[in-house]
Chains A and B, each alone.
Chain A
Amino acid sequence: MSNIENVSRRNLLKGVVASGFLLGTSVAGWSPVSQAVAEPAAFMPNLFVAIAPSGQVTVVVSRSEMGTGIRTSLAMVLADELDADWKDVHVMQAQGDAKYGDQNTDGSKSVRLLLNTMREAGATARQMLLTVAAQRWNVAASACHTEAGAVVLGTNGKRLRYGELADAAARLPVPPAGSVHLKERAEWRYIGKSLPIVDLDDIVQGSAVYGIDVTLPGMKHASIERPPSYGGRVKSYDATEALKVPGVEHVVEIPATPLPSGFLPLGGVAVVATNTWAAMQGRQKLQVQWETGPNADYDTTGYRAALEATAKQPGKVARQNGDLDHALQTASKRISADYFVPHLAHAMMEPEASTATFADGVCTAWTATQNPQQARATVAQFLGIGQSAVTINITLLGGGFGRKSKPDYVAEAAFLARSVGAPVKVTWTREDDIAHDYYHAIAAQHLEGGLDTDGKAVAWLHRTVFPSIGSTFTADTVYGSAGELSQGVVDMPFAIPNVRCENGRAEAHVRIGWYRSVYNIPHAFAVGSFVDELAAAAGKDPTQFLLSLLGEPRKLDPRLLGSGYANYGASLDEYPIDIGRMRNVVLLLAAARSGWGSPLPARHGRGIAVHRSFLSYVAAVAHVAVATDGTVTVPRIDLAVDCGMVVHPDRVAAQFEGAAVMGLGNTLFSSVTFKQGTAEQSNFGDYQVARIDATPETHVYVVRSDAPPGGVGEPGVPPVSAAICNAIFSAVGRRVRALPVDPGELKAA
């Protein structure tokens, strides 16, 4: 890693002994939100590890915990190279600070980005401790080794605990980056093991601290009425009745942000009270007149029709191989299909919540954010102060799924804290969350394919039309970005000689944002479904057809993809599109383990899909049952996964189990529609998500791999929709081309 410096200061870390909340503390850049105790450290050779004289090892985790187990996994990596005793390891959450590098916990990349950093951070500390011990014993360093929190001399049994060496180690120069010895894989003691997550006890006891749980002395609670449509603003308001509600103390207007609003708040009127309930009650008594703004006519029924019409017309070409038009014209069989995916809301269980103080020009926030540095920048921008005057402390996140990478709610709390001169917690209601999300993009797609006389695919046209996430940040963005088109469009992996991928124009009328696996959701649904349609047209078994369509195991020639292929920010040398992993590893594994081809009862079926996203390969087989009234149930999902090397097998499996459920919910239940600029759904009564009664028996097979780590949080979601819909076709012979599945279309004749 670059920039290792010895930041040990014996006194610097005093005061980090945190019991409950430490207010206004920014010592060493750790978030004072847990109730656990970090002892004053004697030795801190870099940003990520500190060792106390007692032997306590503090690992600083710079990525946000929203359920992936990252606080545990990164600590395991560092503890492994340090040869720490896991019992001594204590995790602290970094604050939002550029010194930690990329902290945006998004894009399924925490392990990928930090594996080597954490290994090197641990190994550096270990080497320094070992050097001190060798000096103390007056022997060569090579005569010593480390084990479970101690340096041991040869075989004579002499040992010095790390805590005993910490003081002296702090006086050594830090070895230069890249110079320390890293373990061989066979020597790893924690990487690859499924240790209980570090927050497990707190979670089951109800003492884990999320953003919504932060409490400060004298804190007020706020509930905010926001514009009914995107770009609306307050014309006038009457707070008289609201202020009569017992407990209500202030009514404050929050200024609207000109469109596109980016990460900044939408504006509105806040009711600030002594408790959350009073704030909500007061808000109901507000009389607000709105200027409706430019999106007050947004209607998804009409918008969908417009997207679908656009998808019928040629668009901007994003990838082109061979001569598609000729191949389609001369194909022995030609088919086409149109697919639709609606807006989705993240609806993470913990709604947006943030707490802030503001005093003497300085703002301190406590919040559940995936994107701490952006939160810092957004608060600074909204308050018109410098970033150095903003401190972002990060709690646990009660789910994120991409919503919590947008810190509008953090800026709201900061603004209100300054306005009322007291600490303020902003708590969004579920209705606020559904009404003011950064929605997953609605999308229409048109695909055409051609088969030759042997049933081999020779032509592939994929046209996708969706509002870009870029529209949330940059005015007049009407086409998808290269990164968005790299999520399941231009990275089409099949061995088809004539290909064209196009993107049509679409304007956004709401905030569009990242939602777990992002544009892979519509694209993997359409691509995975259309492949199944081609297989049916060719009269072939879908798995056999997919195997031949993928072709020979090989690394996809990047020149086929065009110049815009983003590859999730990774190099294609290190992370190629490896058809062998897709075909011979995950596809064949999923087919074999799921019982592909074995008999099923009437109106049951299996469907298969395979997709690479976030540098990982996943094949899904869904077993579906369609009742005579059209109700779809999914008794079983099998997911075969190649995500490269694995730090924590159980947490990886858990992410894929969860992805199966979320993918199922996206497929069968979830949809946000708009009328007159306003979401028609408001809470879990009408925004349906998967519940336990819809949960399939899920089997996850993670293959052993020495490849560099790919993503884990998101890649399980994309292939699920196509697998389920292909299974529906197998069960009842009807194609589902629009999500969520409409059971009315699947009734027995």
Chain B
Amino acid sequence: MTDITVNGVRHSLDADSAMPLLWALRDLLGLHGTKFGCGIGACGACTIHLDGQAVRSCITTLQDAGGKQVLTIEGLGMEKEHPVQSAWKAGNVPQCGYCQPGQIMQAAALLQQTPKPTDQQIVDAMSGNICRCGTYQRIKAAIRAAAGETA
């Protein structure tokens, strides 16, 4: 049994402790907002927050997450839409939308740690998140806009 807390709710999971958190979230808890893209931490689609840090849930095991706070896209704006989500909507960022939960989680963690990032800091923080639709320009603009909001 592994105990994890996801979006404020505690779960006891009877599963292989080596199972990546990604698959535990998706298949065991039915939280599908966290996406599978590569399985090797190379695309960022599965980004979640573990104790406030952006991590790739596809290479984070259930054991790694044990006893920690997991925040997924479903929990990010649970009480109130997160400024990053609002900025994403205002800028009409998504195309297919598949990578966007990961992008949003990555951006939210960036702004948590660096409320006023420079353009270079935005690029550095977001370079691990692939968008094949090519929405990067709008992602940059939305992060700048959200940084204004959260100031």
Contact = CB atoms under 8 A, between A and B. Distances in A.
Interface stretch (A169-177, A225-233, A599-607, A688-696): A688-696
A338 interface: no
Nearest to B72: A206
A658 B36 contact: no
B106 to A, nearest CB: 10
B137 A396 contact: no
Given A275-B28, A657-B134, A204 B35 contact: no
A397 B132 CA distance: 12
Given A207-B33, A397-B96, A657 B38 contact: no
A349 B23 contact: no
Interface in A349-372: 349-351
Nearest to A277: B23
Nearest to A430: B38
A64 to B, nearest CB: 10
- The CB with the most chain B CB atoms within 10 A, among A68, A210, A275, is that of A275
Contact of A399 (B28, B72, B96): B96
A194 B74 CA distance: 27
Contacts, number: 184
Q: Classify chain B's interface size.
A: 35 or more
B92 A695 contact: no
A68 B134 contact: no
B24 to A, nearest CB: 8
A276 B92 contact: no
A350 B35 contact: yes
A347 B43 CA distance: 11
B98 A215 contact: no
Given A349-B99, A692-B129, A661 B136 contact: yes
B135 A657 contact: yes
Contact of B131 (A247, A275, A349, A655): A349
Interface in A365-403: 396-401
B30 interface: yes
Contact of A661 (B28, B43, B88, B134): B134
Given A67-B133, A206-B73, A349-B132, A427 B96 contact: no
Nearest to B19: A277
Interface in A391-425: 396-401
B135 A429 contact: no
B26 A693 contact: no
B85 A689 contact: no
A83 interface: no
A398 B35 contact: yes
Contacts of A202: 97
A731 B35 CA distance: 41
A199 interface: yes
Contacts of A692: 122-123, 126-127, 129, 131, 136, 139-140
The DSSP consensus for interface residues of chain B is loop
A685 B72 CA distance: 25
A399 B140 contact: no
A160 interface: no
A566 interface: no
Given A200-B89, A204-B85, A399-B98, A658 B134 contact: yes
B117 to A, nearest CB: 13
Nearest to B38: A430
- The CB with the most chain B CB atoms within 10 A, among A399, A400, A692, is that of A692
B20 A196 contact: no
A399 B94 CA distance: 11
B119 to A, nearest CB: 11
Interface string B87-124: 01100101111111100100000000000000000111
A349 B45 CA distance: 8
A85 interface: no
A276 B96 contact: no
Contacts of B37: 349-351, 430, 684
A650 B91 CA distance: 10
B39 interface: yes
Contacts of A210: 35, 98
Contacts of A400: 96
Contact of B134 (A200, A215, A660): A660
Contacts of A186: none
B145 interface: no
A190 to B, nearest CB: 16
Given A212-B35, A692-B136, A207 B100 contact: no
8 contacts: A66-B96, A67-B96, A67-B97, A215-B32, A349-B37, A429-B39, A654-B133, A690-B136
Q: Which 3 A-B pairs have the closest CB atoms?
A: A206-B33, A661-B134, A398-B98
Given A67-B94, A215-B32, 16 more contacts: A199-B94, A206-B33, A206-B34, A207-B74, A212-B35, A349-B131, A350-B98, A398-B97, A430-B38, A650-B92, A683-B42, A684-B40, A691-B130, A692-B129, A692-B131, A692-B140
Interface of B: 15-16, 19-20, 23-24, 26-28, 30-40, 42-43, 45, 72-74, 76-77, 85, 88-89, 92, 94-101, 104, 122-124, 126-140
